[in-house]
Amino acid sequence: MNDEKLVVEIVCVGTEILLGNIVNTNAAYLSEKIAGLGLSCYYQTVVGDNPNRVEDAITTAINRSDIVILSGGLGPTQDDLTKEIAAKVCGKELILHEESLKDIEDFFKKKGINYTDNNVKQAMVPVDSIVLKNNNGTAPGIIIPYENKHVVLLPGPPNELKPMFEESVVPYFHKLTNCVITSQTVKVVSVGESLAETMIMDLIDNQTNPTIATYAKTGEVHIRVTASADSEEKARKLIKPVVKELKVRFGNNIYSTDENVTLEKSVVDLLAASDLKIMTVESCTGGMLASRLVNVPGASEVLKCGLVTYSNKAKRKLAGVKKTTIQKYTAVSAQTAREMAKGTDLGPKSDVIVSITGYAGPDSSEEEPAGLVYIACNVCGNITVKEFHFKGNRMKVRESATVNALVLVRQCILEYISQMTFGEKTE
C-alpha cells in the first residue's frame, strides 16, 4: 500500500469544448471520482483536435503525473487522433484488436446501422495495452502502461465514459495502488456546509484513514468518508464506525448514505414505504417540484397529480384558496401557503400536499422582496408552514424553494410516522 498519493491529470480532447459549445462535465465527473478514490488531481487540461497540441498536452501531463486520463477523440473520423498520438508519445505501435472489431460489428448489427470500413480504426490498439470493453458505444477504452506510469484513454460521450470508468478503470486503480479505496457519501439536509463542518471538526482534524470531506450542493451537504485497505471488506469496516458516528450527529437530517439516491428519490421512497400519495401545489416554482419528483423512476406510484397555480385566480379556483385570504394577507403569505396545502376535491385524493408560494424575482421591492418564499406541507391533515429568505437570481430562488420543499415533506412525514409509532394523537 502506497503512502504517497498517486497524482492524476485529466486531459480532455475536443475542439467543441474550446469553442464553448459544450460544458466539460467529464472533467468534473472524473475529478470527483479521482478524489473519491483517494488520488490527487493537480491539473485539468482541455486541448482541441490538433495533433501538435494534443501531443504537447500528453507529454506535459506524463512528465508531471503518475496517471494521465484522456477523454475524447477515440471515434472513427480523421479528427479523432487521441489514441494515435498517445501511442506515439509512449512509443507503441497500433495493432488490430480482433475482439473489439467483433464488438463494434455486433454493435452496428444490433442497432441496424450499416457498418463502414473506417470503424476498423476504432479497433486498433497500442501493443501491450489493456483494452476496456465499451458496453454503450463503439470505441473501446485503452490503458497504456508506460514506464512506471499509466495512460488511460476513455471515449468522450459521458454515457460511455462513466460506466467504463466504474467498470474497468476503478478496479485497475485498486490493483495499482495495491489497495482498495472505497468511499461512502452521507447526504445531509437542513444544515449548512459551515455548520456541518463545525459539527464534525474533531473528526476531520483527527482523520487519517478514513478521511472525511464535505461538499456543498444546493440545499444539501454531502459528507464523503473514504478509506483505503488491502481489501474492499476491510475498507468498508473502517468506514462503518465513522458513518455510524455521523448518523448520531446528524440524525434525521441524513436522508441517505447511498451514492445513487437523490433527495427526490429519498422522498419518493419514503412516500412509497409509508403508502402515502403526494400532490404538489406550486406558484413561484411553477412545476419544478413536481418535475423533480417525476424524474424518479416509479414516481407514478406516489405522485398522482400536481397544480401550477401561478395566478391568484388559479389559487382560488384550483387550490381553493379563499379570496379574502389573498386580499388580507397577499398571495405570498403563510396563510395563502396553508390554504394551498389544504387540498381540493378536484383531483385524485392525496395524503400529502405540499405548496409553494413566493417572490422569485428578479425585481425586488419592500412589498415584494425577491427570495421570500412560504412552503406548507400537509400530512394527513397536519399542516406545517415555513418562511424562507433565499438569495440569488430567479432560477436560484426557485431551485432553493424546490429543494427546501422536498426537505420539508421529508421532515413532516418522518414526524407523522414517529407520532403514529408512539401512539400520540395527531390532531
What residues contact residue 208 under an 8 Å CB cut-off, 6+ apart? none
Among positions 61, 179, 307, 401, the unique one binding its own copies when judged by CB under 8 A: 307
Residue 21: count other Cβ atoms within 10 Å of its Cβ. 9
Is the Cα torsion angle 87, 93, 98, 104 positive or negative in sign?
A: positive
Report if residue 67 touches its own copies, rule: CB under 8 A. Answer: no
Residue 276: count other Cβ atoms within 10 Å of its Cβ. 18
Report if residue 304 touches its own copies, rule: CB under 8 A. Answer: yes
| Cα–Cα distance, 205 to 191 (Å, whole number) | 20
Q: Of 109 and 317, which has the nearer Cβ to its own copies?
A: 317
> Which residues, 317 to 336, sit near its own copies by CB under 8 A?
317-318
Q: Which stretch binds its own copies (CB under 8 A): 143-151, 201-209, 308-316, 371-379?
A: 308-316
Checking phi first, is residue 353 left (phi over 0); if not, alpha (psi -120 to 50) or beta? beta
At residue 383, the 3 state secondary structure works out as strand
- Kindly state the smallest distance separating residue 90's Cβ from its own copies, in Å: 22
> Which residues, 361 to 380, sit near its own copies by CB under 8 A?
361-363
Among positions 196, 293, 372, 403, the unique one binding its own copies when judged by CB under 8 A: 293
Q: Which stretch binds its own copies (CB under 8 A): 97-105, 165-173, 253-261, 342-350?
A: 342-350
- What is Dmax (Cα atoms) for the chain? 80
Q: Which stretch binds its own copies (CB under 8 A): 44-52, 72-80, 95-103, 407-415?
A: 44-52
Cα–Cα distances (Å) from 49 to 68, 83, 143, 234, in that order, read 18, 12, 20, 44
Among positions 107, 108, 172, 215, the unique one binding its own copies when judged by CB under 8 A: 215
Report if residue 58 touches its own copies, rule: CB under 8 A. Answer: no
Among positions 120, 213, 238, 243, the unique one binding its own copies when judged by CB under 8 A: 213
Q: Which stretch binds its own copies (CB under 8 A): 16-24, 110-118, 167-175, 230-238?
A: 16-24
- Site track 120-159 with its own copies (rule: CB under 8 A), x = hit: ---------------------------------------x
Strand partners, 353: 279, 378
| Cα–Cα distance, 67 to 59 (Å, whole number) | 12
| φ, ψ of residue 89 in degrees (nearest 5) | -60, -40
Q: Which stretch binds its own copies (CB under 8 A): 113-121, 179-187, 232-240, 313-321?
A: 313-321
The cell for 123 is: 479497433
